[in-house]
Homo-oligomer: A and B are copies of this chain.
């Protein structure tokens, strides 16, 4: 059994790691820690834990030695914090998967330009591996430090990868119209996340310079082997979980829905976590609710030459905790889908 710890077990991503790891057949949850909520019992933070052994245990603080007894820790903490914690874990022989932004970039200057802080551990960036298995699997296998992708970049990169790899775009611009469920904004209460204000509402936020842009650009350029720019507009959807990306792309002459659907199906034929839908279907966020899958469709508007790619996933699973566990499975040479095969909940 792999002994794992979770730092930041009090937030939504931490809670989702608990939910998924609780059912993982090769894992023991060895340590749950929190900077702000140490001492509180699990069920106080996650009422689904009532009546379980895990729910009765208090969260540890970050200095607790149990964390260092783990084989792996997941860091579900704000950017800037993870890079301060990671060196000690690695020095103690504990592998690290960071669910924040600290280890997603090779270039610390890029990180610093967008996140407005000096990187606390730039010396680790060369070693850190970007944890999007569908495009980076071989590098993940041997790693001990993984930067787990952002939720939006996961949805955008999975949606655009087949087109970039096969050089099917007529212009180097990815217009990504993103829609996220509210858990993507974190658990801390804010006036604009009050139930009464979000329910019945739809809005945009944070445009035009969202921090997920450089992450997408960096890996999109790697895939397409040429420069590409991203124009990204995120929106808040009144759903607890779920992430939907609509990509608007200039297609090359002759592109068709049937043709591109085949390209996508071939590209992802062996991928267990990506389903390219039949032409008679379109993605729903709810079809992947609680599951680690990404659903994709592609359409060509022959009147305008535009390619529209639709990508749906659960921001807390394939967009965060599930993907982190997929990476963990790779690190420990388990079958990649171990513990991750649950279907989405419907309705």
Contacts and interface: CB of A to CB of B under 8 A. Distances in A.
A100 to B, nearest CB: 19
A12 B347 contact: yes
A50 interface: yes
A345 B342 contact: no
Given A308-B208, A343-B52, A242 B301 contact: no
Q: Which of A18, A203, A209, A248 has the most CB of B within 10 A?
A: A203
User: How extensive is the interface on chain A, given as a class?
Assistant: 35 or more
A284 B203 contact: yes
A204 B342 contact: no
Contact of A51 (B188, B203, B244, B293): B293
Copies in the complex: 4
A295 B48 CA distance: 9
B194 A189 contact: yes
A23 B240 contact: no
Contact of A189 (B193, B238, B312): B193
Interface stretch (A91-99, A145-153, A179-187): A179-187
A248 B48 contact: no
A246 B196 contact: no
Nearest to A51: B275
A244 to B, nearest CB: 5
A346 B11 CA distance: 10
A194 B187 contact: yes
Q: Which 4 A-B pairs have the closest CB atoms?
A: A51-B275, A48-B344, A47-B287, A208-B301
Given A15-B347, A23-B342, A43-B278, 15 more contacts: A12-B196, A51-B275, A187-B196, A197-B286, A198-B199, A199-B347, A200-B200, A200-B239, A202-B244, A202-B312, A203-B282, A203-B312, A207-B299, A231-B304, A233-B246
